[in-house]
Amino acid sequence: MTNARYTLPGLILLIICSFTANAQIIRTIAGTGVYSSAFVGDGGPAKIAGLGCPYAVFVDTNGILYFTDNANHVVKKVTRNGIITTICGNGVPVYGGDGGPATAASLAAPTAIIMDPAGNLIIGDAGNKVVRKINSAGIISTIAGTHAFVPVGGDGGPATDAGLGSVSGLAYDAAGNLYIADGNTKVRKVNTAGIISTVAGNGALGNAGNGGQATAASFDGISDIAFDAAGNMYIAEKNSFTVRKVNTAGIITAYAGLGPASSGSTGDGGPASAARLNGTAGLRFDTAGNLYLTEQNVHKIRRINPAGIISTYAGSISAGFAGDGGPATTARFNYPSQICFDKRGNMYITDKGIQGPSGSPWGHRIRQIYKVDTFHISVAPSPVLCGNTAATFTAHPTQAYYTYVYKWFVNNLPVGTNSATYASTTVHNQDTVICNIIDTANGGMLLAKSDTIIMTVLPPILPLVHVTHSGDTICAGLTMTFSATATNGGTAPVFKWYVNGVYMWTGTMFAYIPVTGDFVTCVLTSNDPCAFPVTSHVDIPLTVIPSFRPYIHIHADPDTVVAYWSQIITLFSNLTYSGTAPTFQWYNNHGPIAGETNNFYQQAMYGPDTFYCIMHSNGYCAVPDFDTSNIIYISTGKLAVEDLATQSASFTIYPNPNNGHFTLKGIIHDGKSGSVSVDVKNVLGQSVYTSTINHTGKAIEQSIDLGNDLPPGMYYLMTSDSHGNRAIPFLVHSH
């Protein structure tokens, strides 16, 4: 039976509390802020590693962070658990190592870093005027540039034969073509076949050509490239304080900034085309179509929404280091360089700083701007517990974090740290449980906050089984039925039945025929979570009384089988085990005699008839509780059937009484073959069946079928052969 406690609305409370802060929070992922040599901190936490002017950053789909350490001529990696290592470069600023491990190769002032569609890292080796690739096996190669200090050239041929300037930015379009921000004031394109071409810039310094073909335009200080979802290319011009757009037809226009003569950092809330920019260094789009750009000279990050409106996203106009743990708009940077986004939409910034030991202790960090996440926690076995039941809580964060721990709280008090699970053996009613994910490298900064579970603890309850049956005493041979119900049985109680300790049945009902000395046991197993103990049983001893079969025998007075016409015959009954108040129903050839329910019956005879009586006993343990008497046939002197010599016993029928289907059996005494005529008549002398049986002078055994339509009553089977005629009376009862 269902326990009503679980149907009360609001009993089980699982409350989801959302963290509603909208501010973008900033924190440091790597670096101490002090300029350091290349390999300080490798193998340890990225937060305490030394960096030297990190230039560009990229995060892959697995959350692994890569960045170029420009002043130390290496590429570094930060794993999801915050450990930093060097994956490319030996710290010697020369060119070398192609075809071997990237860790043994030489780079010179690496700048841009991205990943190609195949998962290879692509690096701008600015000092060597080449673009290099690190494949998934860690082998480095050059994919664009010659490393020779030659004029820009090579368009139409292999990119590895082309001359490049200092590479400052890299991007891929949707078709997998690579674009290079060439320090020779051009944007170069390397198609998927490795052929290079110029897609923007004529090689001259300037900021001209808007409204025409991008290849005819002049640039000054191309620093980065980005593509929007429609395939338009955006170019950051650091020295011209602008961002320019090249549409898919190759036409260039001014997109943001007022140009070389209008440096500054103004225009928030208005069109980006009317804003002043200062030192545009990095460009990236988020998935919503917002364009973000770093203003390196004023230490800010600006955002241009799809409607073209510009605003400050992070930083202030003054250099420095501040703001970790707070809103990004109050943070301070020192020459932020380039940016990227992870798949969750968190932004990563290279807070570049100034090169050399004499530089200020600002920058030289990788920073992250993120929203405090929410995540789900679960509890097993349930948020509803009973008594002293233990519970285990599990955190289900939706992403990985750098340098983090779990912190669990019960009723706002800390109870566990740095485990995705928290187990408690002392859960109390109305306990509130939450989990926070904390950034240990930044003084316990909150990264993610769970929903809240409010526990319900109920007291133990005692299950009880209740059995109903037809009494503890039963007559031998009868079936006893038991029915079980439960109190506190839960939603799916189980009832098991045993007889004398032996398992018999599972279910709410049980029926069997008991014998003397039996006892029945019903065991309830409750699935109510608060049941203690979970089982309950009841024993039922039984007393079995021997059964007696009632008996009735009738006889006629006068005791005759032939009555004269209109003679009154009285039928009497002799009874055995009839009880104190038996009931009777008398029958004659026509069926039950209406109103004749006494222990005797009288009738005036005006023709032959058959009589019997059914007696119902009310005696205790009368099994069955009725009996049918013997059959008495009485004929009269005026039988319509011929007066035949019925004393012959040469033929018999069986069974008698029957249902109209019986066997005629007889012996032929003289051993001669011949035939016997058979004629079945009713008491009115009407034939209802005739046949002839041929024999060989021996025994006769013939099945006779009178059909199913013959009414019940007395009939005579007449036989006729060379030895004479015979009549055998028999009774047909209902079919």
As a whole number of angstroms, the distance between CA 516 and CA 28 comes to 86
What CATH topology corresponds to 24-371?
Answer: Neuraminidase (2.120.10)
pLDDT digits (tens, 9 = 90+) for 470-479: 877 888 888 9
Instruction: Give the per-residue pLDDT at 18.
Output: 36
CB of 93 closer than 8 Å to CB of 149: no
CB of 498 closer than 8 Å to CB of 505: no
Instruction: Give the per-residue pLDDT at 11.
Output: 34
Locate the domains of the chain by residue range: 24-371, 373-458, 464-545, 551-634, 651-732
pLDDT digits (tens, 9 = 90+) for 616-651: 999 888 888 899 999 988 887 643 333 333 333 368
Please list, residue by residue across 463-476, b when 16 or more beta carbons sit within 10 angstroms of its beta carbon and e when fewer do.
bebebebeeeebbe
Angle, alpha carbons 180-185-188 (nearest 5°): 30
CB of 75 closer than 8 Å to CB of 66: yes
As a whole number of angstroms, the distance between CA 272 and CA 636 comes to 132
Average pLDDT of the residues in 316-331: 90
Task: Give the confidence band of 17 by pLDDT, cuts at 50, 70, 90.
Answer: very low
Amino acid (one-letter) located at 198: T
pLDDT digits (tens, 9 = 90+) for 497-511: 999 999 999 999 999
As a whole number of angstroms, the distance between CA 44 and CA 172 comes to 33
Instruction: Give the per-residue pLDDT at 388.
Output: 72
Average pLDDT of the residues in 93-100: 97
CB of 373 closer than 8 Å to CB of 447: yes
Instruction: Give the per-residue pLDDT at 229.
Output: 97
Q: Residue 240: is its pLDDT beyond 90?
A: yes
Which pTM was predicted? 0.63
Share of the chain above pLDDT 70, in %: 92
Class of domain 651-732: mainly beta
Half-sphere exposure of 271 (CA within 13 A, CB side): 5
pLDDT digits (tens, 9 = 90+) for 279-289: 999 999 999 99
Q: Is 162 exposed, middle or buried (0-12, 13-18, 19+ CB in 10 A)?
A: buried
Amino acid (one-letter) located at 577: Y
pLDDT digits (tens, 9 = 90+) for 360-405: 678 999 999 998 989 999 999 999 888 777 899 999 998 878 878 9
Q: What is the DSSP track for 443-498?
A: TSEEEEEE--EE-EEE--B--EEEEEES-SEEETT--EEEEEEEES--SS-EEEEE
CATH H superfamily, domain 464-545: Immunoglobulins (2.60.40.10)
Strand partners, 611: 632
Closest listed residue to residue 685, CA positions, set 660, 662, 718, 654: 718
Task: Give the confidence band of 5 by pLDDT, cuts at 50, 70, 90.
Answer: very low
Pairing of strands 445-450, 456-458: unpaired
Closest listed residue to residue 144, CA positions, set 171, 123, 114: 123
Instruction: Give the per-residue pLDDT at 619.
Output: 86
Instruction: Give the per-residue pLDDT at 490.
Output: 92
Chain position carrying tokens 């009360």: 8
Chain position carrying tokens 């008398």: 586
CA torsion sign for 241, 144, 91, 94 is: negative
Q: For residue 647, what are the contacts with CB-CB under 8 A and spacing of at least 6?
A: none
Q: For residue 638, what are the contacts with CB-CB under 8 A and spacing of at least 6?
A: 565, 607
Instruction: Give the per-residue pLDDT at 150.
Output: 65
Instruction: Give the per-residue pLDDT at 570.
Output: 85
pLDDT digits (tens, 9 = 90+) for 691-718: 999 888 778 889 999 988 888 888 888 8
As a whole number of angstroms, the distance between CA 180 and CA 112 comes to 9
Class of domain 373-458: mainly beta
Task: Give the confidence band of 358 by pLDDT, cuts at 50, 70, 90.
Answer: low
CATH H superfamily, domain 551-634: Immunoglobulins (2.60.40.10)
| Mean of all residue pLDDT scores within the chain | 89
Instruction: Give the per-residue pLDDT at 639.
Output: 39
Average pLDDT of the residues in 77-94: 95
DSSP state of 711: P
90: tokens are: 């030996």
Instruction: Give the per-residue pLDDT at 560.
Output: 63
As a whole number of angstroms, the distance between CA 716 and CA 735 comes to 18
Closest listed residue to residue 224, CA positions, set 342, 109, 132, 338: 338
CB of 329 closer than 8 Å to CB of 347: no
683: tokens are: 């008491």
Instruction: Give the per-residue pLDDT at 473.
Output: 84
Instruction: Give the per-residue pLDDT at 9.
Output: 31
CB of 29 closer than 8 Å to CB of 348: yes
pLDDT digits (tens, 9 = 90+) for 510-565: 999 999 889 999 999 999 878 889 999 999 999 888 888 899 999 887 776 667 66
Angle, alpha carbons 364-367-368 (nearest 5°): 170
Fold matches, 24-371 and 464-545: no
